[in-house]
């Protein structure tokens, strides 16, 4: 997915791991959607003066909660259970990188948060594409194909606002640094039945 500019694609064999524990991937995925909604609300809370940002991220948060509900419905339909919230080590590594690179000024903090969000969405989108193209479960193949398109839209939203509100920051240069950092991080993942694992 060249539009996402990710430097390291997911090995399709990751799907073989996922298929051994569908309940785990669905539980992990549901909580990823909940965290994405919470992240959008946090950005709104900290940057409420930007009316257009608030409007678009409210819509995005609603969509993420809708995705949570869709995953939960699949879990129920299959007679599975939504497990407890899962820790996401991949996202936590990105989060720590974001915190380390926020220099205390509000514009920098907003841009870093938006690029962090774009990075998570980009990798989620790429993982959904790999799932949709390689999973043997037809229902999940279609489901992940549809979600892939939605995640691509979320990625675009975050990148667009980083560029819009990043006055005085070389957002393109910073995004390239994020992509390089993520390449190093993702090499440690792809071995678990989780969206980013």
Sorting pLDDT into bands at 50, 70 and 90, what band is 86? confident
Q: Can you state the angle between helices 51-77 and 138-165, rounded to 10 degrees?
A: 170
Nearest to 161 by CA among 148, 182, 178, 175: 175
Rounded mean pLDDT, 28-56: 98
pLDDT at 2: 58
C-alpha to C-alpha distance for 7 and 11, rounded to whole angstroms = 13
Rounded mean pLDDT, 142-156: 94
pLDDT at 122: 96
C-alpha to C-alpha distance for 127 and 152, rounded to whole angstroms = 11
Q: What tokens were used for 115? A: 């690029």
- Alpha helices by DSSP H, the chain: 14-19, 22-46, 51-77, 89-100, 106-134, 138-165, 171-186
Per-residue HEC secondary structure of 3-39 comes to: HHCCCCCCCCCHHHHHHCCHHHHHHHHHHHHHHHHHH
Sorting pLDDT into bands at 50, 70 and 90, what band is 1? very low
pLDDT in tens, 161-188: 999 999 999 999 999 999 999 999 999 9
């Amino acid at each position: 997915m060249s539009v996402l500019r990710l430097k390291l694609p997911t090995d399709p064999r990751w799907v073989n791991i996922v298929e051994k524990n569908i309940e785990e991937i669905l539980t992990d995925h549901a909580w990823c959607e909940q965290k994405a909604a919470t992240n959008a609300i946090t950005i709104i809370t900290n940057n409420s003066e930007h009316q257009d940002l608030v409007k678009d991220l409210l819509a995005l948060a609603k969509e993420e909660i809708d995705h949570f509900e869709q995953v939960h419905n699949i879990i129920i339909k299959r007679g599975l259970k939504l497990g407890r919230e899962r820790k996401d080590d991949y996202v936590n590594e990105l989060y720590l990188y974001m915190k380390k690179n926020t220099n205390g000024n509000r514009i920098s903090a907003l841009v870093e948060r938006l690029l962090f969000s774009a990075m998570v969405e980009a990798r989620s989108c790429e993982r959904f594409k790999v799932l949709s193209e390689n999973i043997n479960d037809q229902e999940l193949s279609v489901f992940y194909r549809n979600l892939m398109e939605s995640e691509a839209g979320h990625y675009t939203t975050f990148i667009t606002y980083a560029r819009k509100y990043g006055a005085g920051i070389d957002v393109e240069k910073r995004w390239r640094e994020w992509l390089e950092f993520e390449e190093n991080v993702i090499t440690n993942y792809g071995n678990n039945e989780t969206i980013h694992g």
